[in-house]
Amino acid sequence: MVDLLKDKVAEALKMYREISSKALSGEIEPNPPQNDYSILDLLASERPTFQLVNPEDPVYVSSFRLLRWSEPVDLGQKTFNIVLFTAGRVLGENAVEHGLIKNLDDLVEFALNQRLGIYDIVSADDSSVVINVYESISSSGIPNIGRTVCHFERGFLTAVFSKLYKRRVTVEETHCWGTGYSFDRFEIKISDVSV
């Protein structure tokens, strides 16, 4: 099943790279904001590659998103975003510490195997990395709700790059399904400060 998924990902990457390139150049406009949406809109996923390999993928995604969108009233949205960031950070730290992620290729494979999304390294050097994520478990298929929503992934990437580079990093989500795009984009800045 893993080989089938990798074959499908190679095909999908061509299409997704073209779409993201057009969106970044302004050829494709972001989806307009949607003020009236329900939990069902937030649970709906667009992950055709994962679904080809496993038709039950929407159930897997819905389970993750039910937790993500529960946002307990007593915690508040910002506090819950910190909880999601921390959960992603813990996953990233453990993945590196246990040798599951040793480099960028491992990161891409880990994300794919764990069904987090299709990670595409757009650029990478010693001071910055840009990653597009297609078919994200957190956001793929949600309407434009006017904000980025991939706090789990941001925490995950923060930990992975901090551990791999042994330096302080900042991760910003610049594009998201939640802001009208059909992909998520993360810009990772790697400082000179050691950790």
pLDDT tier for residue 79 given thresholds of 50, 70 and 90: confident
Structure tokens at 20: 């993201």
Q: Report pLDDT for 58.
A: 94
pLDDT tier for residue 6 given thresholds of 50, 70 and 90: confident
Residue 14 belongs to a domain with what CATH number?
3.30.1380.20
Q: Which domain holds residue 157?
A: 2-194
Chain centroid to CA 65: 13
d(CA 189, CA 183): 20
Structure tokens at 28: 């494709």
Mean pLDDT on 1-8:
73
Angle of helix 104-113 relative to helix 2-25, nearest 10 degrees?
110
Q: Total structural domains in the chain?
A: 1
Mean pLDDT on 64-85:
81
d(CA 188, CA 104): 13
Q: What does the mean pLDDT of the chain come to? A: 93
Q: Report pLDDT for 28.
A: 94
Within 13 Å, how many C-alpha atoms sit on residue 166's CB side? 2
Closest CA to 87 of 117, 104, 67, 60: 67
- Angle at 101 (CA atoms; ends 97, 102), nearest 5 degrees: 90
- pLDDT, tens only, 98-149: 999 999 999 999 999 999 999 999 999 999 999 999 999 999 999 999 999 9
166 neighbors 99 (Cβ within 8 angstroms): no
Q: Is the pLDDT of residue 15 over 90?
A: yes
Q: Report pLDDT for 71.
A: 67
Q: Is the pLDDT of residue 1 over 60?
A: no
Q: Report pLDDT for 90.
A: 98
User: What pTM was estimated for this model as a whole?
Assistant: 0.94
- pLDDT, tens only, 137-188: 999 999 999 999 999 999 999 999 999 999 999 999 999 999 999 999 999 9
Q: Report pLDDT for 7.
A: 82
Decide: residue 1, CB within 10 A, 0-12 exposed, 13-18 middle, 19+ buried.
exposed
d(CA 182, CA 96): 29
Q: Report pLDDT for 102.
A: 98
- pLDDT, tens only, 23-48: 999 999 999 999 899 989 999 999 99
d(CA 69, CA 42): 8
